[in-house]
Structure 1
Amino acid sequence: MNDQHEGCCGNAVDGSRRTWLASALGAGAFAAVGGASWLLPGLAQAAALTKEQRDAMTPDQVITLLREGNERFRAGKMQGHDYLAQKRASASGQYPAAVILGCIDSRAPAEIILDTGIGETFTARVAGNIANDDLLGSLEFACAIAGSKVVLVMGHTACGAIKGAIDGAKLGNLTGLLDKIRPAVDATQFSGERTSKNDDFVDAVAATNVRRTVDEIRHRSDVLAGLEKDGKIKIVGSMYHLVGGKVEFYA
């Protein structure tokens, strides 16, 4: 099978990618980064971001695209991803626009929730979306070396790691991980029952934990803090709501 025509929805992918970029860049900038080539059906390059296209976007424009992707997810109108074309287009290089630090929860896959394709986002996942040394190094690689414009920390409601931290659970290496979340429990102001059985308290701690992780990234990574100070990236928190599917972005 000819590589240019492999897959069932190449034209649909071309169209959705044009919309993805044009909505963020505006018509003039879109054309300047090679958007016109995406008008030709069947081109594998149309299925993945190029360096020029990614670099033409501002951090705020990338955040807008992530918001719009979540809106499509919630509406059941996700893009028709041709993963074979995306795989081919990104095989020789990757130019993701964002890096997402999320939880390992099976119900919170960032690429699906935000309707992104292969080569569009880096995704790091760890229980409780904490920022340890290895993850900080990964975020630094994504932004300082690979050129991503946004660090998005994404927590979620009904988080089991948060519940474990509230309960002071102990289990092998998990104990040390939950200890990193525990300060968020103590820092959460809440007037109701402060137990893991109270869903509202769990979600309040999860929100605090996201904000603390954002602050920790800035505090512990001079690399990322410097990039943000220079306006090259933005570090943003968010919360994914399991009921309804909305990703709430924090300013």
Structure 2
Amino acid sequence: MRKIYTLGIIGTLLLGACNQTAEKKAQSNNVDTVVVPKADILISEALTSEQQEKLTPDSVLQRMKNGNKDFTEDNLTIRNSTERVRRASLGQYPKAVVLSCLDSRVPVEDVFHSGIGNLFVARVAGNIINDDILGSLEYSCKVSGAKLIVVLGHEYCGAVKSAIDDVKLGNITSLLAKIQPAVQHAKASFKGKTTSSNPDFVAAVCDENVKESIRLIREKSPILNEMEKSGKIKIIGGVYDMNSGKVEFFN
């Protein structure tokens, strides 16, 4: 009886200690945990083929603008990402493809308030055009049905600054050479110091670089050129403002 009684006391003490530990853990978690109401979680699924087919380039562009407005106003929605991953696993029907710079400060999906399965994103330093990027854009639009191509540049771009400085370093040299036409175009009309230390000149080259990428897409991809001319897709540019998060779109 004594042993049973002793074990009973020990069990009670251990149980009490466990409860206290769990209680402390719960209290600790309550400090760091934010409870999100179900109503605030977006439960919409990734686009279906039928939904994608009904989209137009203009309607997609408007959605992108609305999404960017949400981003700048900090109105991002909490998404059921795990569920969307599972539902999108067997197919994808994105509405647009974004050619963005490599820069880690430009979170493309968040910038347009978009979730899994909604956007193709191609990233390369300086958002330049090469054969692989063109192939990726053709796949996105001709094969997978995206309605819009956005070439997205951004302020304070390191690749643009390096191109202005005519940096030579390994394989970076050939990449920066693709930005040189934009540097020369900007120099032709810019009034002021044409150096990487001048933010206004860097911004001017950034704009020209986006326009150059758009020009090359149309020139070097007959597939995308024809699709744009027939109204199946639209090709536009945009520049991301690092301070406000706003994207300024232009043709």
TM-score norm. by structure 2 comes to: 0.83
Return the offset for 1:92: 1.0
SS at match of 1:196: coil
Q: How does 1:125-164 map onto structure 2 within 5 Å?
A: 125-164=123-162
Q: Which amino acid aligns with 1:228?
A: E
Partner of 2:105: 107
Counterparts of 1:54-203 in structure 2 under 5 Å? 54-188=52-186, 189-203=189-203
Code of the residue aligned with 1:116 in structure 2: it is S
Q: Which runs of 5+ in 2 are unaligned?
A: 1-35
User: Hey, what's the Cα distance between the residues in 2 that align with 1:146 and 1:185?
Assistant: 34
The runs of at least 4 aligned residues of structure 1 exceeding 6 Å deviation read none
Q: Distance in 2 between matches of 1:143 and 1:184?
A: 26
Q: Which residue number in structure 2 is paired with residue 4 of structure 1?
A: none
Number of residue pairs aligned between Structure 1 and Structure 2: 214
Corresponding residue number in structure 1 for 2:208: 208
RMSD of aligned Cα (Å): 1.4
The 8 Å contact of residues 99 and 122 in structure 2, kept in 1 or not, is answered as yes
Pair member with larger Rg: 2
**Contact 1:102–1:124 under 8 Å retained in 2:** yes
The 2-side partners of 1:107 and 1:81 are apart by: 21
- Percentage of pairs with the same residue: 47
**Secondary structure of the structure 2 residue equivalent to 1:238:** strand
TM normalised by structure 1 equals 0.83
Distance 2:183 2:155 in 1: 15
State the 1:220 CA deviation: 0.4
What whole-Å deviation, never above 9, does each CA across 1:82-118 have from its counterpart, x for those lacking one?
1112101201100000000000000012111111100
The structural deviation recorded for 1:12 is 3.1
| One-letter amino acid of the counterpart of residue 172, structure 1 | G
What 5-or-longer segments of structure 1 have no aligned partner?
1-6, 15-45
Aligned mates of 1:10, 1:89 — CA distance in 2: 20
* C-alpha contact (below 8 Å) 1:237/1:249 kept by paired residues: yes
Query: Any idea what SS the aligned residue of 1:128 has?
Result: helix
Residues 6-39 of structure 1: per-residue CA shift (max 9 Å, x gap): x98587313xxxxxxxxxxxxxxxxxxxxxxxxx
